Structure 1
Amino acid sequence: MSLFDDFGGTPAVTAAVEVFYGRVADDPELAPWFAGIDLVRLKAHQRAFLTAALGGPDLFTGRSMPAAHAGLGITIDAFDRVLEHLAYTLFDLGLSYQQVAMVIDDLRGQSAGIVEIESAPAS
């Protein structure tokens, strides 16, 4: 059985994406990246992406991660905050620590194609 099946399949992924984007939209540090974005379309892409990330059917037909995020000026701090929101969402919806860690570690490996700006040095 895949992690996708353990998680609850399509209904659980749909719920996770709704909860996740609620958290992201409520985060004042992340909200500006999503202003003016077609969230219906973005959520559809995220459902397909998360399904594949959890080992479900690979239905994702969107642009590559680097292409989808190019020019957005995403910082490592913002990337980490998004992963944190996703991790808490997956925990809240029933995945174990080990399962969440697997998903987050896989996504963290994609940071090079998403992050454009490293954090500013500490003052």
Structure 2
Amino acid sequence: MSETPRQSIYEAIGGEDALIAVVDDLYRRILDDPLLKGFFTSVNMPRLKGRQVEFFGQALGGPMTYTGASMRKAHAGLGIGPEHFAAVAGHLKDALAGAGVPADLIEEIMNLVAPLADEIVTVPASTG
């Protein structure tokens, strides 16, 4: 008897519709955060959200193909510190929880996101 293949995280959280809802909530949270909102003042938000859905869709085992720049190139020169990355990660975790994603899947997703800090963070932590 063969084992049933494990469902992808993408499928487990509800597919594209769920990702769109999570990304919308994520950016609502980010834009409400005084530490982060300044990074997005001149950003085409619909385009950014679309790229984010693509990125997560691909990263979580969905059928999407991410067509944006590399994480390093997309975030170069923005002055992102570890505190900014941590704040976005916290908002992502909260947006996933708000969408009803189970804690074990949130943990898996956060473990996939954490290594991206090496490509996104470009400045040392602020000291005050």
Which consecutive aligned stretches of 4+ in structure 1 deviate over 4 angstroms post-superposition?
Answer: none
Q: Name the counterpart of 2:4.
A: none
Deviations 1:49-78 (A, max 9, x none): 111222212410111100100010101000
2: CA distance, partners of 1:50 / 1:104:
11
Q: Which has more radius of gyration?
A: 2
Please list the CA deviations of residues 71-104 of structure 1 after superposition, one character each: whole Å capped at 9, or x if unmatched. Answer: 1010100000000000111111121212111111
Contact 2:54 2:66 in 1 (8 A): yes
The number of residues matched between the two structures is 122
Residue 91 of structure 2: which of 69, 85, 89 is its match?
Answer: 85
Structure 2 match to 1:4: 10
Q: SS where residue 110 of structure 1 aligns?
A: helix
The one of 72, 76, 79 aligned to 1:73: 79
Q: What is the alpha-carbon root mean square deviation over aligned residues?
A: 1.2
* Structure-2 separation of matches of 1:51 and 1:37: 21
TM-score, structure 1 normalization: 0.94
TM-score (norm 2): 0.90
Q: Secondary structure at the match of 1:109?
A: helix
Structure 1 residue runs without a partner (length 5+): none
Instruction: Give the gaps of 5 or more residues in structure 2.
Output: 1-6
Q: Which amino acid aligns with 2:57?
A: T
Q: Distance in 2 between matches of 1:109 and 1:60?
A: 18
Q: Percent identity?
A: 34
Cα distance in 2 for partners of 1:10, 1:87 equals 18
Mapped partners of 2:100, 2:12: distance in 1: 9
Hey, what does 1:120 align to over in structure 2?
A: 126
Q: Which residue of 2 aligns with 1:14?
A: 20
C-alpha distance in 1 between matches for 2:105 and 2:50:
23
